[in-house]
Structure 1
Amino acid sequence: MSKGSDMSNRSNVVLIAEDDGELRELVCTELESEGFQVVSVTNGEEAISKTRSLKPDVIVMDLNMPVMNGIEAIKKLKTDHATSHIPIVVGTVVEEKEDIVKSFEAGAIAYITKPYFMPELMAKINSVLQSKKLYDKLILSEEKYRLLVENANEAILVIQDGILTFFNPTALELLDYPQSELTSNPFIEFVHAEDREEVLEYHARILSGKRACPAYSFRIASRNDNVKWVEAKGVLIDWDGKPATLHFIADITARKRTEEEMRFLAFYDCLTGLPNRLMFNEHMNQALAYAKRTKSQLATLFLDLDYFKRVNDTYGHHLGDMLLRAVGERLIRILRKSDIIARNVEDICSTNVARFGGDEFVLLLTNIQDVQDVSKVARRILYTISDAFMLDGHELSVTTSIGISLYPADGEEPETLIKHADKAMYHAKNLGRNNYQFFADSLEGTTPERVTLRGDLRTALEGEELSLYYQPQLAIASKTIIGLEALIRWQHVDMGVVTPADIIPLAEESGLMEPISEWVLRTACLQHLAWQKAGLPSMRMAVNVSNLLFKQQKLVRLIPRVLDDTGMDPSFLEIELTESSLLQIGKSTKAALQYLKETGVRIAVDDFGTGYSSLYHLKNYTLDALKIDRSFIKDIPGNADSEIIVSAIIAMAHSLKLEVIAVGVETEKQLEFLEERGCDMIQGYLFSPPLPSYDIIPLIQEEGVEATM
């Protein structure tokens, strides 16, 4: 952090006002590495004092600070003639929209959301510095002003009487129209039709002499239907003796695309494109509020495909994924044909069907007049889903079981209605599957099938019916095995092979998570030692750990105990936590994570990319590796969005000195793409499926093992 930097060079001095010490240190370090001279303070009063004495070129101001908050500090700086010209960028979280408006009213000229994305912050500072230089030159002379404007990186234009009267080369390139068209047509015609009203209101507010509102975003409709997102900030000026508006416009198309991708990851299912549980609950809350006002009924339908595991086991996950997408498409078509959904059916169908995970789908029917209409939709679903699917040359037939709950009869909250629909669905399965059942009070409590499964799992644990399979992890550079991931399997007498996705919830419900976790960990460690005694080189052994046990801090005792009991070298053990659990870790569990790391155990983040974390979150933990979720790998190469996300994850991980493992690699083209981006390891069916322990030795003897120490 720069405390006593040489201030003789006044071109790049940035004042950081931030009370979060860790964030302040990160920002200062990153800016200094880019050649900026940085001064930091911790509250508004210090910011005012430092600004008056040092006259920085730009200030990055946190809004929520002790002693004096950011908004009050901005007001004082802007009322002081000696400091009023210094541009201020505010940093805040997205939810504080009212504070953002207040900061612009106080005199700030831009904002950036926290936690900071450093390239965006640097770009924002550079943009503000460029604009500041422009303002300085405007005061000096019109000739210098024009020279700077024409070479500015931002698009700069002047609108007078609704017509473009001036624009710099950057603006001409951004708008992508011949100069003659730009000057002969109203500027509003170049704005996307859906955004014109907002742009006209903003423009009118500037002309009225009121302080401009915060920088706003809109779309420009360029030629050939090429739509670009821009961010604009306008001010009132005098242009040849008449009022006009001067606008500074930045192309934010790439940023908008990234925001949409991240929103998709947060609210939509990557496999089917349908809303996920979070998005569905949000829509359900809105529908319930409307139903309460209009005293109308709603129906929640919970669907679970019958024997879907057999599809995966017989044809593989690739065909299983295709089937799930096809089912989602059929459900949407069914809703569009239904006459009991609200009139704006095209708008709501996409949010009335959701995938909750696995082979579970949930539907919401609104504006119900007669419960018999719900039965009609349920029967149509049963009939439509049972019709054969032609997928990749295979004819697949599946059925579904449906549970139904009604508002207000069965509940008034989303959680209650979904839970009751789920219970009714299990009742449908108990009655032979391929049918629908309405919720009834008699279904309250745990379903008989669930109770039976819990007992079966306890018997399986006690009777040594559980087993571990091992899937190799291949180092891309050397094309040799560097480690193995241990995966639990349960051979159920009726259900066949049960995977971790189903075992884990059952174990948590029945209180078996701790003994099962210990069994998995102990079995994996003993197998590792057995392979060593058999003469195999040492490899990493990756084991998924329970988020529940980690939150309860039970793993911090379990893992060292098992390592001591078995005598396994901790450096060969890698525990995997999901990204979502990492985001929920508090101070105590963070200390537990650090303790495990100090014992020598490696720590990896599993399913990375699905939890909406950031560089700021990851830097807080002593991690060793990231595993890119298979939902991104399956669409590369060929899907531009997935390619961008995977490339970004690899680059980010390497910047944090983390190894990257791509999960679910099934094709040579995927391997080639990952190798070109510098991915370290792969795991997937391209090299090997999960194998029983006795198949690992011949595989390793054939492929070789890379040293991991």
Structure 2
Amino acid sequence: MANTIKKQVVLIVDDDPVTRMLMTQSLTSTELEIVEAASGEDAIVQFSLHKPDITLLDVSMPGMNGFECCARLRALPKGAECAIVMVTALDDVEDIEQAFESGATDFITKPLKWPLFRHRVRYILKANRTLQELSLNKNKLAKAQSIANLVYWEWDFESEFLECSSDMFAMLGFSKEINLTVRSALKKVHPEDRTKLIIALKQAVYEKQSYDIEYRIIRSDGSVLFVNERTDISFEYGQWRIVGTLHDITSRKQSEQEITYYAYYDTLTDLPNRRLFIEQLETAIASAKRHQAQFALMFLDLDRFKYINDTYGHHIGDEVLCQSAQRIRECVRDSDLVAKANYDTDNRVARLAGDEFTVLLDDISKVEQVAEIANRLIGAFSAPFFISEKHLHISISVGITLYPDDGHNVQTLLQHADVAMYHAKEKGRNNYQFFSESMNNYLKLRLEMENDLRIALSEQQFEVYYQPQYDAESMAIVGLEALLRWRHPTKGLLTPNYFIEIAESTGLILGIGDWVLMQACRQVRQWQKESGCAYRVAVNLSASQFTQSYLLDTVRKTLDETGLPPETLELEITETAMLKDTAETIPLLFSLKKLGVRLAIDDFGTGYSSLSYLKNFPIDTLKIDRTFVEEIVTNSKDCAIAQTIVQLADNLQLCTIAEGVETSEQADILRKLGCAEFQGFYFSHPLPVPQLSLLLEH
């Protein structure tokens, strides 16, 4: 009967059924049996029934959380042998420490990278199985050594020669014909371990104290063996004798090293992982505190790495990470600062997570030294990556903190380095920034503003103001531009300049933009009914809205719900947003035109200003930016630019609207140039609904 291989059991614990399903699909194979649990309580039941080899345990669950569940599982039968991996979106050092304190073997951070997830679980299973085998072998070895000599030797403390088994010669690499002495045997011991063995032998000779130690032997062929030596001392027939046994534990040591590697190193880049990095940082802090020294922590992040993964696939992204790790290594290895470190320079570089790397620099005397290395790192990424016949350009943003100026513990230094790196991103990427308290305060204010924005959207703190657009000849109101305002509970009425960038970066602009579109169309439709005039309403679209596939459905739904005639809705788009991805832009613009809405280019002349797209895009209106209107009376160049835009629009049968008209002189010149419509403070400021209703009545 053929032997069947016992499947390894995987217990997946997560309250989210979608996550459990995706994990199960990723791990499904003939070698594994998958068991699921939807809560901590259910996990204890399933663990007792199936006794899994590995448990993937979600941290954040209702009822019993992952930390408590982990501690409970460890107390069950086979709980000590099972590998328990915490699956968490938490990234704080304290959470990670709590995971290991509760008994976790390792942790995996969310969101999960599915191509790597299956391999990670397989490697942890392999390491855990090796650990179990080592434990079993150790017990067998202890029993075997108690009843038999494996490789043995004897010494009477007086002669210089050793009596030993024939296998002892083969282990040391000696010929059996020679007489083995204590001195010649000691020469085979690794120089770093020799002192330890000599001390043990002296205690055996003078104090009659047996020993059990491990050390390395260098064989004649240069190979290294790890051996365990156990001794027993006896007094027989008036003479002291010591008997020792040697056991080759090289394979066990190699397995231990492999387990250590999986626990402390990133398998993709061979760099230290977060766990080892945190230990190194703690050691660096203790050493710097003891010697009153200063060190630097660099936090590196690859710019737009997500675009590489999404565009070319994770296999290309993984190769970028490997090559990036190598470039960082080479820069750090070449540094005089790091060359003075007390341990392997490669260990000064770590992969923290994803596309985030860290560098520790010892014994800093001048900030200029750190800046020089930061410039060297940025320069190392100036050359393109050549992967799968593709030239990929990647840059890095670097945040730098100094101990003790910027923090005295792991959590603070990491947080401040992350803040500095984030600031480098805001400065345009591909640069480095040192941490400062003002930078930290700025980030706190940003986070407060982001939280306030979320509250504002849910509590409807936003308002829509309207600025009239006038016909240049009749001076009648023909259109209204909808402008967002935020009535902040403590800061008063805010214009978009204060918050729009945060709304864009957080994705809140999508919800805000949809709300503005609905409010503006509903209000202008009411004015149309009351006045009998077909007022046009202009609504600005952000770059984020314009790239969303649901924009077309959103506009169609808004028109249907409000009853606004499509030809009286004008969507304003900047040149930058319009030309970001023309392959998607052109079909979207034509689809919007089919709905009957008008399209305008906002701030025309300040973006790409490429005339070629005007013939391909179904545009109705060009809005002359206020920068060309401000000095149109005194600056002939601004006047010439405005004239060119008007003539261009006229030749292409497009309408022109001048923004920012603040004086009668500006209006007169623009009227003479042929501009069709005006908008600005000279005619009217943006007004709330009640005031604009009065204006329209008169």
TM-score using structure 2 length? 0.44
Between Structure 1 and Structure 2, whose CA radius of gyration is higher?
2
Which structure would you say has the larger RCO, counting Cα contacts within 8 Å and 6 or more residues apart? 1
TM-score using structure 1 length? 0.43
